[in-house]
């Protein structure tokens, strides 16, 4: 056999138990093997073969179970119902040989114990020649329409029942884009891939998020023969934008807080004023304009504040609900992206004052006099004894009095507080009342006054 002849044995399907599967052999394919492409289901075909060229090609059908081929027919685009018997076949022992097969033709082979249905495509009649990649002249924020320029008729085949189908060329398009990395809260550059089934329009959704060039390589038949063509586009200046945001309260009440409603669901961002919230935005390359928007309605028809910055730290001091979102846009504002909407709900103010505690009695239990409050934006508290001596002062409602004066516990008895405060709802508080310090035990003493007792 000529050393340039390449034989590819293709086993097709299965037949009744105990019988060998039919097979055909291609000769004269040179250095380009005949490709075996699986047809779609329900076509009636066992194989679709693609030959680089039919020049010098022949097909040999061997005997099956010791019995030579009984019939060899061909059919065209009308389907197997219009198949005609082939003439001019050559016999070589039990082998049946078809010289000079026709391309873009279906074949039906019958043995006494088996049948074989396949389509043979002559790729040279459909050869792909890529000429370039044309970028769109019109901009679209949600889709990029490329045009693969070149020639090459679609590679089609016909099923047994006459239905025409297309073998996709699977031209690979590679380009760079950005991908959101949620755990690291950042955009990472990555190589993206798309597939085109032929020349003409190619639609990328979503479009790339950074400037890039596009490289097309194909088709899949030429790749299999190590002859793939590659073309590259001019650089694309991206317009598409994408934004991601985070928001978190930086002064949220901790465990043991004396805020009323602490720990309850208030959207995680709101609750008691003052609420300090850190808003952070992460933007793709084409975003040039950044804006945080505050509104009184979730549709943002009544926008009350605009902050042209990427990161924003804001203190919410007023009762009510505020809706917050981030908007990023490209240079001319034709492409925009919006974040999720954050809801910050600040409750009405409230202030409650206890009238007794027991410092020194049991560590960690009722040993601190603290108010219960919500949404106080201003606060001052003074503690006095019955003689009018100021024993303690604090201006943070989270703080409290530990029952000491000049580092020592004061004696049990009645003391007095005066509070001036203002709420996020504008309500003013002026409160005064008594504080009862209950009797407590000290080391070595069962009852009576402790340190500093009168």
Could you report the per-residue pLDDT of 74-112, keeping only the tens digit for each? 999 999 999 999 999 999 999 999 999 999 999 999 999
On whether the CB atoms of residues 404 and 360 are closer than 8 A, the answer is: no
The span from the CA of 221 to the CA of 124, in Å, is 11
- pLDDT, block means (10 residues), the chain with 454 residues: 32 36 85 93 95 95 95 97 95 96 97 96 96 94 96 95 96 98 97 95 95 97 96 97 96 82 65 94 98 98 97 95 98 96 94 93 85 95 97 96 95 97 95 90 44 35
H-run or E-run covering 224:
helix 220-224
Q: What is the DSSP string of 14-54?
A: --STTSPPPEEEEE--TTSPPEEEPPPTTSS-SEEEEES--
Beta bridge partners of 282: 244
Handedness of CA 83, 88, 94, 95 (dihedral sign): negative
- In sequence order, what are the residues at sequence separation of 6 or more whose Cβ sits closer than 8 angstroms to the Cβ of residue 85? 71, 72, 73
Handedness of CA 138, 144, 145, 149 (dihedral sign): positive
CA nearest neighbour of 57 among 38, 37, 33, 84: 33
The span from the CA of 176 to the CA of 174, in Å, is 7
Could you report the per-residue pLDDT of 188-214, keeping only the tens digit for each? 999 999 999 999 999 999 999 999 999
CA nearest neighbour of 23 among 57, 80, 69, 55: 69
The span from the CA of 44 to the CA of 24, in Å, is 17
pTM for the full predicted model: 0.78
Task: Write down the pLDDT at residue 20.
Answer: 54
The span from the CA of 344 to the CA of 364, in Å, is 34
């Amino acid at each position: 056999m000529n050393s340039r002849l390449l034989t590819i044995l293709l086993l097709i399907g299965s037949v009744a138990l105990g019988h060998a599967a039919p097979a055909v052999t291609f000769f004269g394919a040179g250095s380009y093997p005949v490709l075996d492409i699986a047809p779609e289901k329900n076509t009636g075909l066992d194989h679709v073969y693609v030959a680089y060229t039919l020049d010098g090609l022949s097909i040999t059908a061997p005997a099956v179970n010791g019995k030579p081929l009984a019939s060899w027919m061909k059919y065209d685009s009308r389907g197997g119902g219009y198949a005609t018997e082939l003439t001019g076949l050559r016999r070589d022992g039990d082998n049946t040989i078809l010289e000079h097969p026709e391309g873009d033709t279906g074949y039906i082979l019958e043995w006494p114990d088996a049948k074989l249905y396949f389509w043979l495509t002559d790729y040279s009649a459909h050869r792909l020649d890529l000429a370039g990649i044309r970028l769109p002249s019109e901009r679209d924020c949600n889709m990029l329409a490329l045009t693969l320029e070149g020639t090459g008729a679609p590679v089609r085949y016909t099923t047994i029942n006459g239905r025409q189908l297309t073998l996709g060329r699977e031209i690979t398009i590679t380009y760079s884009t950005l991908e959101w990395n949620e755990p690291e809260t950042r955009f990472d550059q990555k190589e993206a891939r798309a597939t085109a089934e032929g020349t003409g329009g190619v639609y990328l959704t979503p479009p790339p998020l950074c400037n890039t060039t596009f490289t097309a390589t194909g088709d899949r038949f030429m790749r299999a023969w190590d002859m793939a063509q590659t073309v590259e586009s001019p650089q694309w200046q991206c317009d598409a934008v994408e934004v991601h945001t985070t928001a978190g309260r930086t002064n949220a009440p901790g465990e043991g807080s004396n805020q009323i409603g602490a720990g309850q669901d208030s959207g995680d961002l709101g609750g008691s004023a003052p609420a300090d919230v850190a808003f952070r935005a992460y933007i793709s390359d084409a975003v040039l304009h950044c804006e945080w928007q505050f509104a009184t309605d979730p549709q943002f028809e009544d926008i009350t504040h605009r902050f042209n910055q990427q990161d924003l730290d804001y203190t919410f001091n007023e009762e009510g609900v505020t809706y917050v979102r981030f908007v990023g846009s490209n240079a001319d504002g034709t492409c925009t992206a919006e974040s999720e909407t954050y809801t910050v709900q600040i409750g009405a103010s409230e202030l409650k004052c206890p009238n007794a505690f027991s410092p020194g009695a049991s560590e960690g239990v009722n040993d601190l006099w603290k108010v219960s409050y919500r949404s106080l934006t201003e606060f001052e508290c003074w503690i006095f004894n019955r003689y009018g001596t100021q024993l303690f002062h604090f201006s943070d409602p989270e703080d409290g009095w530990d029952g000491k004066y000049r580092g020592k516990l004061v004696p049990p008895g009645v003391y007095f507080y005066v509070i001036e405060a203002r709420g996020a709802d504008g309500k003013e508080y002026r409160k005064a009342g008594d504080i009862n310090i209950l009797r407590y035990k000290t080391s070595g003493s069962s009852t009576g006054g402790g340190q500093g007792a009168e």
